[in-house]
Amino acid sequence: MKRLLLILFLILIICTSYGQEVNADTTTSEQNEETHAGLMKNTLFFTAGWFGGFIYNGNYERMIWGNKNPAIRSVMIRVGIGQLFVPESVYSLFSTVKLKTTTYTATLGMLIGKRNSYLEFTAGVVYFNGEETQTSMLSGKVITSDYKDINPAVTLGYRYQKPGDHFVFRVGAGWPDLVHISLGLCF
Protein backbone atom coordinates (compact mmCIF):
# COMPACT_ATOMS: atom_id res chain seq x y z
CA MET A 1 0.00 0.00 0.00
CA LYS A 2 2.79 2.42 0.91
CA ARG A 3 4.61 1.57 -2.32
CA LEU A 4 1.46 2.29 -4.40
CA LEU A 5 0.92 5.66 -2.71
CA LEU A 6 4.59 6.54 -3.23
CA ILE A 7 4.35 5.73 -6.94
CA LEU A 8 1.20 7.86 -7.31
CA PHE A 9 2.85 10.74 -5.46
CA LEU A 10 5.96 10.56 -7.70
CA ILE A 11 3.81 10.57 -10.85
CA LEU A 12 2.07 13.74 -9.68
CA ILE A 13 5.40 15.44 -8.91
CA ILE A 14 6.83 14.54 -12.32
CA CYS A 15 3.76 15.92 -14.08
CA THR A 16 4.11 19.36 -12.54
CA SER A 17 6.64 20.11 -15.27
CA TYR A 18 3.65 20.48 -17.63
CA GLY A 19 2.25 23.31 -15.51
CA GLN A 20 -0.07 26.12 -16.46
CA GLU A 21 2.41 28.78 -17.39
CA VAL A 22 1.14 31.93 -19.13
CA ASN A 23 2.92 33.59 -22.05
CA ALA A 24 2.15 37.32 -22.07
CA ASP A 25 2.84 37.56 -25.83
CA THR A 26 -0.15 35.44 -26.90
CA THR A 27 -3.89 35.67 -26.43
CA THR A 28 -5.78 33.09 -24.42
CA SER A 29 -7.13 31.27 -27.50
CA GLU A 30 -3.67 31.19 -29.13
CA GLN A 31 -2.17 29.93 -25.88
CA ASN A 32 -4.73 27.11 -25.65
CA GLU A 33 -3.93 25.96 -29.19
CA GLU A 34 -0.17 26.19 -28.64
CA THR A 35 0.14 24.56 -25.24
CA HIS A 36 -2.43 21.79 -24.99
CA ALA A 37 -4.58 21.58 -28.09
CA GLY A 38 -7.32 23.68 -26.48
CA LEU A 39 -8.13 21.17 -23.72
CA MET A 40 -7.65 22.16 -20.12
CA LYS A 41 -4.88 20.28 -18.35
CA ASN A 42 -6.56 19.35 -15.05
CA THR A 43 -9.83 17.48 -14.58
CA LEU A 44 -11.74 16.42 -11.46
CA PHE A 45 -14.61 14.03 -12.07
CA PHE A 46 -16.95 11.63 -10.31
CA THR A 47 -17.59 8.19 -11.82
CA ALA A 48 -20.36 5.71 -11.05
CA GLY A 49 -20.32 2.21 -12.50
CA TRP A 50 -22.01 -1.17 -12.43
CA PHE A 51 -20.58 -4.69 -12.75
CA GLY A 52 -23.01 -6.81 -10.74
CA GLY A 53 -22.14 -4.57 -7.82
CA PHE A 54 -21.80 -0.81 -7.53
CA ILE A 55 -18.56 1.17 -7.83
CA TYR A 56 -18.06 4.91 -7.48
CA ASN A 57 -14.92 7.02 -7.27
CA GLY A 58 -13.48 10.49 -7.45
CA ASN A 59 -10.65 11.07 -9.90
CA TYR A 60 -7.99 13.65 -10.64
CA GLU A 61 -6.62 13.66 -14.18
CA ARG A 62 -3.65 15.60 -15.52
CA MET A 63 -2.84 16.06 -19.20
CA ILE A 64 0.88 15.39 -19.68
CA TRP A 65 0.94 15.86 -23.45
CA GLY A 66 -1.37 17.61 -25.91
CA ASN A 67 -1.46 17.78 -29.70
CA LYS A 68 -3.61 19.37 -32.41
CA ASN A 69 -3.46 16.13 -34.40
CA PRO A 70 -6.69 14.12 -33.93
CA ALA A 71 -4.82 10.81 -34.23
CA ILE A 72 -3.75 11.18 -30.59
CA ARG A 73 -5.15 14.42 -29.16
CA SER A 74 -3.73 14.06 -25.65
CA VAL A 75 -2.09 11.74 -23.14
CA MET A 76 -3.05 11.96 -19.48
CA ILE A 77 -2.51 10.29 -16.12
CA ARG A 78 -5.29 9.67 -13.63
CA VAL A 79 -5.43 8.80 -9.94
CA GLY A 80 -8.63 7.99 -8.10
CA ILE A 81 -10.07 6.70 -4.88
CA GLY A 82 -13.50 5.19 -4.37
CA GLN A 83 -15.70 2.41 -3.05
CA LEU A 84 -16.81 -0.90 -4.50
CA PHE A 85 -19.82 -2.71 -3.08
CA VAL A 86 -21.18 -6.11 -4.09
CA PRO A 87 -24.47 -6.86 -2.33
CA GLU A 88 -24.99 -10.36 -0.98
CA SER A 89 -25.20 -12.69 -3.96
CA VAL A 90 -24.87 -16.40 -4.66
CA TYR A 91 -21.17 -17.25 -4.78
CA SER A 92 -21.43 -21.00 -5.20
CA LEU A 93 -24.04 -23.69 -4.79
CA PHE A 94 -23.71 -23.57 -0.98
CA SER A 95 -22.64 -20.01 -0.06
CA THR A 96 -23.21 -16.33 -0.64
CA VAL A 97 -20.69 -13.51 -0.65
CA LYS A 98 -20.78 -9.79 0.10
CA LEU A 99 -17.87 -7.46 -0.68
CA LYS A 100 -17.15 -3.88 0.39
CA THR A 101 -13.77 -2.39 -0.44
CA THR A 102 -11.94 0.86 -1.04
CA THR A 103 -10.39 1.21 -4.49
CA TYR A 104 -7.19 3.08 -5.41
CA THR A 105 -6.65 3.57 -9.15
CA ALA A 106 -3.72 4.82 -11.25
CA THR A 107 -4.00 4.88 -15.05
CA LEU A 108 -2.40 6.29 -18.18
CA GLY A 109 -4.78 7.24 -20.97
CA MET A 110 -5.18 8.91 -24.33
CA LEU A 111 -7.84 10.77 -26.26
CA ILE A 112 -8.37 10.29 -29.98
CA GLY A 113 -10.65 12.66 -31.88
CA LYS A 114 -11.32 16.30 -32.60
CA ARG A 115 -13.59 19.16 -31.62
CA ASN A 116 -15.84 17.99 -28.74
CA SER A 117 -15.98 14.20 -29.14
CA TYR A 118 -13.19 11.78 -28.26
CA LEU A 119 -12.51 8.09 -28.04
CA GLU A 120 -10.89 7.53 -24.65
CA PHE A 121 -8.64 4.61 -23.76
CA THR A 122 -6.98 4.11 -20.34
CA ALA A 123 -4.90 1.34 -18.81
CA GLY A 124 -3.34 0.97 -15.38
CA VAL A 125 -3.85 -0.71 -12.02
CA VAL A 126 -6.49 -0.76 -9.30
CA TYR A 127 -5.81 -1.80 -5.72
CA PHE A 128 -8.70 -3.18 -3.64
CA ASN A 129 -8.56 -3.01 0.16
CA GLY A 130 -11.63 -4.08 2.09
CA GLU A 131 -13.71 -6.83 3.60
CA GLU A 132 -15.35 -9.94 2.17
CA THR A 133 -18.16 -11.78 3.98
CA GLN A 134 -19.12 -15.34 3.01
CA THR A 135 -22.21 -17.01 4.43
CA SER A 136 -22.82 -20.75 4.26
CA MET A 137 -26.32 -21.51 3.02
CA LEU A 138 -26.29 -24.88 4.77
CA SER A 139 -25.02 -24.03 8.26
CA GLY A 140 -25.56 -20.27 8.35
CA LYS A 141 -21.90 -19.81 9.37
CA VAL A 142 -20.51 -16.36 8.52
CA ILE A 143 -16.83 -15.91 7.64
CA THR A 144 -15.43 -12.39 7.33
CA SER A 145 -11.97 -11.86 5.89
CA ASP A 146 -9.76 -9.07 4.58
CA TYR A 147 -9.89 -8.57 0.84
CA LYS A 148 -6.76 -7.12 -0.74
CA ASP A 149 -6.05 -7.45 -4.44
CA ILE A 150 -4.34 -5.68 -7.34
CA ASN A 151 -5.98 -5.91 -10.77
CA PRO A 152 -5.57 -4.26 -14.15
CA ALA A 153 -7.78 -1.22 -14.75
CA VAL A 154 -8.84 -0.69 -18.38
CA THR A 155 -11.51 1.51 -19.96
CA LEU A 156 -12.69 2.28 -23.47
CA GLY A 157 -15.33 4.91 -23.96
CA TYR A 158 -16.72 8.17 -25.30
CA ARG A 159 -15.71 11.52 -23.86
CA TYR A 160 -17.36 14.89 -24.48
CA GLN A 161 -15.03 17.77 -23.66
CA LYS A 162 -15.29 21.06 -25.51
CA PRO A 163 -11.90 22.81 -25.88
CA GLY A 164 -11.72 25.73 -23.46
CA ASP A 165 -14.85 24.61 -21.57
CA HIS A 166 -14.99 23.43 -17.95
CA PHE A 167 -17.42 20.50 -18.42
CA VAL A 168 -16.54 16.82 -19.04
CA PHE A 169 -18.92 13.94 -19.70
CA ARG A 170 -17.69 10.33 -20.03
CA VAL A 171 -19.39 7.02 -20.66
CA GLY A 172 -17.77 3.68 -21.35
CA ALA A 173 -16.92 0.13 -20.41
CA GLY A 174 -13.97 -1.60 -18.83
CA TRP A 175 -12.67 -3.13 -15.63
CA PRO A 176 -13.35 -2.98 -12.69
CA ASP A 177 -16.59 -1.25 -13.71
CA LEU A 178 -18.19 -2.98 -16.69
CA VAL A 179 -20.19 0.16 -17.55
CA HIS A 180 -19.63 3.64 -16.17
CA ILE A 181 -20.75 7.26 -16.47
CA SER A 182 -18.79 10.32 -15.31
CA LEU A 183 -19.33 14.04 -14.85
CA GLY A 184 -16.52 16.45 -14.13
CA LEU A 185 -14.93 19.87 -14.23
CA CYS A 186 -11.77 21.00 -16.02
CA PHE A 187 -9.45 23.77 -14.91
Which CATH architecture best describes the domain 2-17+33-186?
Answer: Beta Barrel (2.40)
Which residue in 1, 81, 89, 87 sits closest to 44, CA to CA?
81
Domain boundaries, the chain: 2-17+33-186
Q: What percentage of the chain has pLDDT greater than the value 70?
A: 78
Whether 26 has a pLDDT exceeding 50, the answer reads no
Whether 30 has a pLDDT exceeding 80, the answer reads no
Integer Cα distance of 27 and 103 in angstroms: 41
Integer Cα distance of 156 and 171 in angstroms: 9
Whether 34 has a pLDDT exceeding 50, the answer reads no
> pLDDT tens digits, residue range 109-153?
999 998 889 999 999 999 999 999 988 888 888 989 999 999 999
Integer Cα distance of 118 and 148 in angstroms: 34
Detail the DSSP E strand segments found in 93-178.
Answer: 95-114, 117-136, 142-161, 167-175
C-alpha to C-alpha distances, 159 to 4, 5, 44, 53, nearest whole angstrom: 28, 28, 14, 24
Which residue in 4, 123, 121 sits closest to 73, CA to CA?
121
Query: What average pLDDT does this structure show over 31-36?
Result: 45
3-state helix, strand, coil in the chain (%, to 5): 15, 65, 25
> pLDDT tens digits, residue range 43-53?
999 999 998 78
- pTM (2 d.p.): 0.76
